Amino acid sequence: MIYNNKIAIIAVNSIKITGYCDKQEVGMKKLLYVLLAAALLFAAGTSLFAGGQKAVEGEEEVDKSIEVLHWWTSGGEAAALNVLKKDLEAQGFEWIDSPIAGGGGTQAMTVLRSRATAGNPPAAVQMLGFDILDWAELGFLANLNDLAAKENWDAVIPEALKKFSKYEGNWIAAPVNVHSTNWVWANKKILDELNIAEPTTWNEYIAALDKAQAAGYIALAHGGQAWQDATIFDGVVISTGGPQFYKKALIDLDQNTLKSDTMLEVFKRMAKLRSYVDDNFSGRDWNLASSMVIEGKAAFQMMGDWAKGEFFAAGKVPGVDFIAFRTPGTQGTVTFNSDQFVMFKVDESKRAAQRAMASAVLSPTFQVAFNTVKGSVPARTDVSDAEFTIIGKKGMKDLAEANKNGTLFGSLAHRHGAPAAVMEAIYDVVTAHFNGEYGAERAVQELANAVAAAQ
């Protein structure tokens, strides 16, 4: 079994490193996920059994330390995380930090897979969407029902989040926030200097990018990493085809929609955006791209609202130094992702710390303190927007309206649209096309094939 685990992990990772997959590789990847799942299930069975034997009421020791695995390593992210760390420390818990750099969590999830298969998972882990459900299905996650009932989570967590916080009716995750991905961040000084009004349509946006480029600025700050390319893709899909097209293509994974002329146009628009990116974009971290806008080297960045945390950390003021608007053509639609903390079934002695952490992240005061720094909005529906800036208020309003109008969708790029295997297959195609490996016609075909193979 251990042998299988190693093979599965190493093979899955090496396929990722080689980058773009053909159909066979995707099939192989799928097989390896199945293998990995089987290996993990076995490991879960053994460690849970061991944990169960220790659970003697009243006799267990209390371990006040808690290891937290996360990918919040940029300036804004670290400042937000510090709010949680301080909260737990004030309650007498010791925070053991396990940061795994890499936006979007790709690297963090790889590390988690190896630690869990080695029988050594961290007590608490930052996690997104379908990954939560996958780990729950494998039996690794602690049940938080008691706490959820005591604190009445059911009444205050929106349904869209509960879909990922609960597995088979049981609470298995504590949501920290709601982010959304269809945003553009802009340097206000550059816009004023070039007389650029906030673009509301795709054509206006292209005209604005053209103007910034012609004036010698980097028009679009971007980091060439698959998850960043996919983050842009979320918005371009909606902007080109509308909200129902996004749903059919990236959530329902409908083959005809994936192969449609509209999808061809999506890839053409992606190629157009590529023409506004500077030559050094490859591999650049997202927060460095945000810095380019903050420092006035670049005009725009298309990124989730965690970018706001970077502007705040740099002391920038919304409406004065920077503005944010929905990806032109996506107004009224929100592609969301919610960071949640899951508690792994580790030694009983860690239960108190895990419980304290889950309770802390759901407390209304923490929700305000954390989310005003992070750039996200609260995961609870009963928190006032009074402490939030103009962009945070807009984020909360957009979210509530999209939820009411049926235009709130999980972000594909951030693990809330489709399970990891499908998401990664889409990443590969979007990135290959963005890097000029092939044109729009082939990208459409590759996309449909990759999705079919990964399902």
Footprint on this chain of ligand BGC (rule: CB under 6 A): 71, 77, 103-105, 128, 179, 286, 306, 337, 339, 414
**Strand duo 124-128 + 339-343: pairing:** antiparallel
Min separation Cβ 369 and ligand BGC, Å: 16
Min separation Cβ 393 and ligand BGC, Å: 20
Distance CA 164, CA 157 (A): 11
Neighbours of 341 (CB within 10 A): 25
Min separation Cβ 71 and ligand BGC, Å: 5
Min separation Cβ 337 and ligand BGC, Å: 5
Amino acid identity of residue 314, one-letter, is A
Strands (E) across 35-130 are located at 65-70, 94-99, 124-128
Helix, strand or coil for residue 68? strand
Nearest to 294 by CA among 276, 273, 275, 313: 313
Min separation Cβ 182 and ligand BGC, Å: 14
Distance CA 299, CA 213 (A): 9
The residue among 105 and 329 lying less far from ligand BGC, judged by its C-beta, is 105
User: Using the 8-state DSSP alphabet, how is residue 199 labeled?
Assistant: P
Min separation Cβ 224 and ligand BGC, Å: 15
- Structure-block tokens of residue 99: 């940061």
Helix, strand or coil for residue 387? coil
Question: Using an 8 Å Cβ cutoff, are 222 and 301 in contact?
Answer: yes
The residue among 179 and 326 lying less far from ligand BGC, judged by its C-beta, is 179
The residue among 101 and 149 lying less far from ligand BGC, judged by its C-beta, is 101
- Structure-block tokens of residue 447: 């996309």
Min separation Cβ 335 and ligand BGC, Å: 12
The residue among 130 and 267 lying less far from ligand BGC, judged by its C-beta, is 130
Nearest to 393 by CA among 301, 319, 284: 319
Q: Concatenated DSSP letters for 349-379?
A: GGHHHHHHHHHHHHSHHHHHHHHHHHS-EES
User: Using the 8-state DSSP alphabet, how is residue 381 labeled?
Assistant: T
**Strand duo 218-220 + 298-302: pairing:** parallel
The residue among 28 and 79 lying less far from ligand BGC, judged by its C-beta, is 79
The residue among 77 and 398 lying less far from ligand BGC, judged by its C-beta, is 77
- Structure-block tokens of residue 189: 């000084």
Min separation Cβ 283 and ligand BGC, Å: 15
The residue among 6 and 316 lying less far from ligand BGC, judged by its C-beta, is 316
The residue among 128 and 299 lying less far from ligand BGC, judged by its C-beta, is 128
